[in-house]
DNA sequence: GATGAATGAGTCTTCATTCAT
DNA sequence: TATGAATGAAGACTCATTCAT
């Protein structure tokens, strides 16, 4: 009886997965609006009506597709860097993994946007979109642990850095895809780390202040020189 | 006859603008799919069929709405910083303007995404989306002129910096909107500049010593110059 | 084994009744088309498939609901007037009972109409609607027995009178419900009886003189009979 | 311009009529549920979508069909009896016309019932069903004018008589159709008039009281006779 | 007998687009 | 140019019924 239950549950999950996989392929091929429920059913080898036993409607299916993707990505990302790694190494590994994934699964990401940006009638439909939040929290963890170890400065704003990290990588991914140069991933990671390193090390402020003072004096001097003529 | 032509042209443009304005309001209220051509026509006080004399189809109208917006934004952005300003100041002004606009006109930005991410049949339809590119070029100009003046380092990757700049600001805007804290704009700008400054100045840790030597020599030179008077 | 059979049969009938009761409530709440088999199954605490072990399909269930109702009504109507009552009294009792029931169970009556008026594919499906006929026969019996007793005229058309009786009462019921005045039942019955009485007695204006003569002779005969004791 | 307007309006009404005629035929053939919008459009020689320019939805179309029918019936009924006729003659003409129509257009009447009895979501949808009321008022007018002329008694309840009149005729029509004997119309009318005549003439009450007394004595006598044995 | 997951036929309605005027 | 009535393709979703267990 236990095995019966197990089998049942397994079958159910298998069915759900089959729908998601079928739906993903159809959505990626045609985009949300032109994806037909009938085609999804066909590929999943189910009757159309059966889809509705598992998902309330078309919207629920995209959401599931996107959620499934982020869940998967989150799981793999965690494997991409070891907890024993040095914090900068972890960060770099995460950046590498993220950019690689963005480039590779760009279309699924897009799908998420359609979902996110579409105005839906029924309130709370946009709830349950926090799979992305969970994923984003990976960054937070790396930073926080680095701070605990004393490697990262504590006076940085986590939300800002997170936005910088993911925002930069997403835009970079788009650029890579647009110019069709997925091989430049390494260069981008290097540059991003170069930007983040001094900031995270917390050594910038004093340096910068100093530089600023010098620069200001230089500017004044230049202006004087100009007046000498 | 010239005035007749002028009047004609003016009338045409006025009509187009009326459509864009009407369409914007409808799209912002309902999103792309639920926006009805009939409602746009109503608000524009035109017959439905007339819309098609000005724009090929619904897609063309959204595109025009989005393009119009970016064009406007681009114009205003250019006014937001003077060409005589110091390069960092210009950059900061651009960042400030951009973030402010992103937060303020978020819904139009979204609309742009729907447009961008929707799979359209007819090839090349997504062409003409370069209004955004023109806008993005503002950043390039600031950087390039700063490099010309010797204020910014030359060994930075413009595409990367651009992605970092706009990517960070867009994510930050989203965060601000999500948490409904549009007042934090200044803090974000400050942080972004703090990240960019050392990078743009061409400092990496290894160079610091070297820089210091240079700066010291410069200082001495300046002092001499000052004493000359 | 006999008891086993009895139990089995009882269980079967109990199940059937449970379905009918559940179905009645659902049909009355939602009407035929919007009544869902699943809801009926829910309320009857049975699986959907089980319904089909007892009734061929949805139509069969409405029919059973309606039939059940008329059967019940028929049983109770018979109790509403005693066989020893005077025929007019019986008729009045029947009218009273009928109108009261029409007003009270109007919705079930409606349901019967939907059933009756809906065009069904399978021929003969509208057969077995004679529960209503059985009920209507109550009227016939009262009239026929009255005729046997010599109270009612024999030259009346039973079908016509039946139509008049039930037709009038149904329309009256509708009127009562429409104007929400169920208290006027008595008045209607009185009027109906007033209309029927002379007719049933076999009086038409031209006949009145003749009748009077007959009545006088009868009176005389009765008096003689009484004196015989 | 006036003629243009006239033409336009005429065209519109012609279209509406064409839809109604097409819809009537389809509804009568298949009943409400099995009637397809596509078939109606086909017969009306219009695109499916065009139907929706004239009628909100399928329900609105049935309603229009039924309303149209009653309107027509009402117009014709008025022509069926002249205002100068004697009141009983008028009544008889109305009864004749009504019964004839009920038998002839039974299916449309049924359609009206489906409409009336179907539970619709949207409130007020069952409004506008008063075409039937207008028709029913024809009876009221005949009675009231007869009362004015002193031909009909004034102490009769109009609502009751109306229910009797139409109720009887409807049930009679059903009976005629069921037994497929449409030729009996005359007989039914005769009987109905025979029932109504004394009642409307107001001569029944005194007669009836007398009769009742006689009957009661007869009954008593009979019972005594029975006891004699 | 009982179950309830699976089926899949069936259709109203919407709305971008066209085109006769 | 402007109109707006007419078009008709297109598709998500429901739910009575079946049947393997």
Residue B66: C-alpha distances to residues A44, B22, B63, B113, D210 (Å): 38, 13, 5, 10, 95
Q: Is the pLDDT of residue D50 over 70?
A: yes
Q: From CA A83, how far away is CA C226, in angstroms rounded?
A: 121
Return the partners of chain C (3 or more C-beta pairs < 8 Å). D
Q: What is the pLDDT of residues A208-220, one digit of tens each?
A: 555 556 556 666 6
pLDDT of res. C208: 47
Q: Find the nucleotide nearest A37 (Cα to C1′).
A: F12
Q: Note whether B167 and A172 are within 8 A (CB).
A: yes
Q: What's chain A's average pLDDT?
A: 83
- In this complex, the residue of D162, D211, D219 whose CB is nearest that of residue C201 is D211
Tally of residues, chain A: 229
| 8-state DSSP, C34 | H
Owner of token pair 């298949």? D30
Q: Is the pLDDT of residue B221 over 80?
A: no
pLDDT greater at residue D126 or residue B151: B151
Return the partners of chain A (3 or more C-beta pairs < 8 Å). B
CB atoms within 10 A of CB A76: 11
Put simply, whether C194 touches D (Cβ < 8 Å) is yes
pLDDT greater at residue D2 or residue B193: B193
Residue C52: C-alpha distances to residues C9, C38, C49, C62, C126 (Å): 18, 12, 6, 13, 19
**Could you give all domains of chain B from N- to C-terminal order, each with its CATH number?**
1-55 (1.10.10.60), 64-227 (1.10.357.10)
CB within 8 Å of chain A, chain B residues 60-79: none
Put simply, whether D113 touches C (Cβ < 8 Å) is yes
Q: Note whether D38 and D48 are within 8 A (CB).
A: yes
Q: Which long-range contacts (CB under 8 A, 24 or more apart) does B151-158 make?
A: B151/B86, B151/B87, B151/B88, B151/B200, B151/B201, B152/B87, B152/B200, B152/B201, B152/B202, B153/B199, B153/B200, B153/B201, B153/B202, B154/B202, B155/B202, B156/B199, B156/B200, B156/B202, B157/A187, B157/A191
Of C168, C142, C110, C160, residue with least CA distance to D175? C160
pLDDT of res. B186: 94
pLDDT greater at residue C180 or residue A42: A42
The residue of chain B with its CA nearest to that of A174 is: B163
CA B169, B171, B173: angle at the middle one, nearest 5? 65
Q: What is the pLDDT of residues D172-209, one digit of tens each?
A: 999 998 888 877 899 999 999 999 988 888 765 445 55
pLDDT of res. B201: 82
CB within 8 Å of chain A, chain B residues 18-47: 30-31, 33-34
Give me the helix-helix angle, D185-201 and D87-104, nearest 10°. 140
pLDDT of res. A1: 46
pLDDT of res. B210: 46
């Amino acid at each position: 009886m236990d095995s019966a239950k197990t089998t049942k549950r397994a079958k159910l999950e298998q069915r759900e997965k089959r729908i998601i996989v079928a739906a993903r392929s159809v959505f990626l091929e045609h985009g949300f609006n032109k994806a037909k429920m009938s085609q999804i059913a066909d590929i999943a080898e189910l009757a159309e009506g059966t889809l509705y036993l598992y998902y309330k409607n078309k919207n629920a299916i995209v959401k599931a597709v996107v959620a499934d993707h982020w869940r998967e990505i989150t799981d793999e990302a965690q494997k991409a860097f070891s907890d024993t790694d040095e914090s900068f190494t972890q960060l770099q590994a995460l950046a590498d993994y993220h950019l690689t994934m963005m480039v590779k699964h760009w279309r699924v990401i897009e799908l998420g946007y359609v979902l996110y940006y579409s105005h839906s009638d029924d309130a709370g439909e946009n709830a349950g979109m926090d799979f992305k939040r969970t994923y984003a929290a990976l960054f937070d963890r790396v930073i926080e642990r680095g701070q605990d170890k004393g490697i990262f400065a504590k006076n940085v704003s986590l939300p800002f850095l997170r936005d910088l990290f993911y925002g930069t990588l997403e835009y970079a991914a788009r650029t890579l895809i647009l110019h069709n140069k997925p091989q430049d991933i390494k260069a981008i990671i290097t540059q991003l780390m170069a930007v983040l390193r001094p900031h995270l090390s917390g050594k910038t402020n004093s340096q910068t202040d100093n530089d600023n003072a010098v620069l200001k004096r230089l500017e004044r001097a230049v202006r004087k020189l100009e007046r000498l003529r």
